[in-house]
Every structure is written in C-alpha cells, then in structure tokens.
Chain A
Amino acid sequence: MTTLTETHIAAAAPVWRRSALVLAALSAVFATALLVGGRFGLMLAIGLGFGIVLEGLRFGFAGPWRAMILRRDPSGMWAQLLSIGLVTLIALPLIAASQGDLSGAQAPVGFAMIAGAFVFGAAMQVVLGCGSGTLVNAGSGNAVSLVALPFFALGSFAGAYHLFWWTGLGALPVIRFSGWQGVAVTLLGLAAVAALLWKLATPEHRRLPRRLIVAAGLLAALALFNLIVAGQPWGVVYGLGLWVAKAASAAGADFTGSAFWQAPASVARLKQSLLTDYTSLTNIGIVFGAFLVASWRTGGLSQKLPRLPGLAWIAAIVAGFLLGYSSRLAFGCNVGAFFSGISTGSLHGWVWFASAFAGSVYGVKLRPLLKLEPKT
C-alpha cells in the first residue's frame, strides 16, 4: 500500500527535476555570457528556445513532408510555410534597412547545389530527421538520430572540404529578392505552394491545428531574434562541420588540400572557442532544449529503444554522413537553405525546396527497405 508520505515524495520528484532542468539551462546561458560575451549567451538561449519549441510543440520538417507524401496531409508543411512567411515579412525589410550589419542566407543555384538538396531530401526521410530534426531527436533520446549525428558532423566537414570543387562544376550568380518587392514575391510563392498543397490534400486533412500555428509563430520569432543578435540567419550544418574540423585540427590534421578550411576566415574560426560560433551555439541549444522538454514530460524518456537489424544501423550511419555532405553542397539544410534561404529572399532556397522534396519521395520508399521501421 502506498502511504501518504510516499505519495508526497512521488509528486515532489518531478518538481525537483524540473526546477533543476530550468536552473541548468539558465546557468548555461549565464555562464556562456560571462565566458565569451552577452551576444553568445543570447544565442545559446535562442538555441534552447528552438529546441523547446521544436520538441515541445512537435514541429518538424522531415515528418510533415513524409505526411504529405504518404497521407496527403499538408498541415505540417503549411505550418512551415506560415513560419517562413512571418520571418519574410520582417527579415527582408530589416536587412534592406540595415547598414550592412545583417545578412541573408544567399547562395548560388548550381548543379551540385541541386543534387545535394536531392540527396539531403532522400537521406532525411531515411533517418526521419533533417538538420534541426536530427539534433532534436538526439536530445530527446532517439537512438537512430544519436547514431546518425556524429556522421552528419563528419559529412558536413567533408562536404565543406570539397565544396569549392563541387561549386566549380557550374553555378549561377546569387539571385536574391530584396526589400518590399522581395516580400511580395516570396509571400506570393509561399501562397502558391500552400494552395497547391490544399489541392493535393485529402479533404479530412485540410486543417491547420492550433499547436502548429503557435509553433510557427514562436519559431519565426526565434529565427528573427537569431538574425538580429547574430547578424545572420538561423543555420545548422556549418557548426557541425566546424566541430570535426576543430577536433581534426587539434589532432594535427593538415588542411592544405582544402580551399575551404584553409581560407583565412576558416583558419581564424578554428582558433576561436566553439562558444563564439553562432550555429554551434544554436545547435547545442537545440539538443539541450529538446532534452529539457523530454525530461520535463512525465514518462518522456521512458520509451524503450527500438530493436533494429544491423542493416538499419548501417543505413543510419550512411544517411547521417550523406545529410552532412549533401547539405554543404546544397548551401544548407532544411534550416539554412529552405527556412532561412526562402525567408531572406534567396532563389536557392526555392530550388532547394523543389529538389529536396523530390528526393524525399524516394527517401520515403527507401526507409522500409533499409529496415528502419521499428518492430513493435
């Protein structure tokens, strides 16, 4: 029989755990601000916010694309478009009005960029985790994402190592939409995609749940804070590659064969603390934020790990590497290219979207073949 005292102790345990989680998150932000400066503390806080919103409100990128492909359910994709549109409304005029202290995610469209986005789209459906999704899933205890994440980082480093060779295959000049004209073009494009999804959707799925509207708004606000604080949009993959580059550099690796890693800006960053790299800070925040939410939920981490065959784990490793490598060629992942590219007026964001979605159609078919659907 459970006594009254035991009941009180059981009820108090989550309160202590949750208080400790909040205290740890606040301490990490303040420690970062003290160690490297207030701007970097703010960036970690923004990253924590991304992780909390993505995990807490179950806002994703790979999952909604899969839902659209398999079930003709566009709700998650509408939420993505809504969030991108909200950022566009403020980010593009802000960048136009700034005195060069804010920049967008602008990159050229090219052969390698298109192929990279296609491969990324396929790989993200194999592991069911995109750039931000792999971080969120790892933080909330998804074993496949935890295995994929280090190889994602390795792939990002290797992709950057070879990036200039790939861009040399051919690319257009950077094409961007700016100012209020850019806002109009981008919002029209987003509305056209939303309408196409409406037409393709099954009638019972033609609705946008309030949870996703709230998440889209919060994510947009955090992305704008990211731009205002860092001067650059939200990104993921650069930071992952930098972690490997720093480790390799510390081990005495020679980067003379890479135009990317021996560029003066890269050399300078290799000598600086990770805590001064914006994408590293938001990546760290996303993992910790997702962990915080999963630990906060009652039973959030009590789910048993999946029983998967060896082929599935090999697929997770290969797909993880491909996620990192391809996203460098594509000038970003679902965050840096799709979300930030489109919302800051870069044509490459739109091309990335089309190419990655085509890749996702194949990735959805590959996932069960690679035994990544867990046995119950």
Chain B
Amino acid sequence: MTRALTATLAVVGLAVIIGLDAAATPPNPYKAPPLLALGSGKAPAGGFCGALPE
C-alpha cells in the first residue's frame, strides 16, 4: 500500500464531512457578509482558538 491510499482517504473523508454538513445545515448565499472584513465596519464574529465564546 502506498500514500495514494491514505491521501485519498483524507480527501474523501473531508468531502463526506462537508456533504453531510451541507445536508444537515444547508448553505445560504443570501446571508453572505461583505467580501472583506477590513473596511466592513463589523466586528469579527468567527470562532477562534484564542478567544472564548460570548
């Protein structure tokens, strides 16, 4: 067995996760934020490992 198998498993595994998530929580293009955070005037609201959730 070569790395081709494990690398394919990694990519397919991620694709399955994305697919299952899309089925459970469908993406909504109508709630898209501005293209760039810089200059948007909105405070960043994404999850980050260095921050505690509000």
Q: Chain A interface (Cβ within 8 Å of chain B)?
A: 34-40, 42, 94, 98-103, 105-107, 138-143, 146, 149, 163-164, 167, 227-233, 235-239, 242-243, 246, 250, 260, 263-266, 269, 271-279, 284, 287-288, 291, 294-295, 300-305, 327-328, 331-333, 336-337, 340-341, 346, 348
A–B pairs, 12, beta carbons within 8 Å: A36-B32, A143-B6, A229-B37, A230-B44, A230-B46, A239-B47, A263-B52, A266-B47, A288-B11, A302-B2, A331-B49, A331-B50
Given A229-B37, A302-B4, A304-B2, 5 more pairs with CB closer than 8 A: A228-B38, A237-B49, A238-B48, A265-B54, A302-B3
B46 touches A278 (CB 8 A): yes
Which residue of A is nearest B21, CB measured? A274
B43 touches A101 (CB 8 A): yes
A-B pairs, 10 with minimum CB distance: A37-B32, A141-B3, A231-B37, A231-B44, A141-B7, A263-B53, A336-B49, A301-B4, A35-B27, A265-B53
Q: Chain B interface (Cβ within 8 Å of chain A)?
A: 1-7, 9-11, 14, 17-18, 21-22, 24-29, 31-54
In the assembled complex, the Cα of A279 lies from the Cα of B5 at a distance in Å of 26
Of the candidates B1, B17, B21, the one having the most CB atoms from chain A within 10 angstroms of its own CB is B21
Residues A142 and B6 in contact in the complex (CB < 8 Å), given A332-B50, A333-B49: yes
A264 touches B11 (CB 8 A): no
Nearest-neighbour CB distance to chain B for A229, whole angstroms, equals 6
What is the interface of chain A mostly: helix, strand, loop, or mixed? helix
CB-CB under 8 A from B21, the residues of chain A are 246, 273-275
Residues A100 and B50 in contact in the complex (CB < 8 Å), given A231-B37, A302-B2, A303-B3: no
CB-CB under 8 A from B47, the residues of chain A are 238-239, 242, 265-266, 269, 277-279
In the assembled complex, the Cα of A105 lies from the Cα of B49 at a distance in Å of 8
Nearest-neighbour CB distance to chain A for B18, whole angstroms, equals 6
CB-CB under 8 A from B38, the residues of chain A are 94, 98, 101-102, 227-229, 231
Which residue of B is nearest A302, CB measured? B2
In the assembled complex, the Cα of A77 lies from the Cα of B43 at a distance in Å of 33
CB-CB under 8 A from B3, the residues of chain A are 140-143, 294, 300-305
In the assembled complex, the Cα of A42 lies from the Cα of B48 at a distance in Å of 18
Nearest-neighbour CB distance to chain A for B23, whole angstroms, equals 10
B50 touches A34 (CB 8 A): no
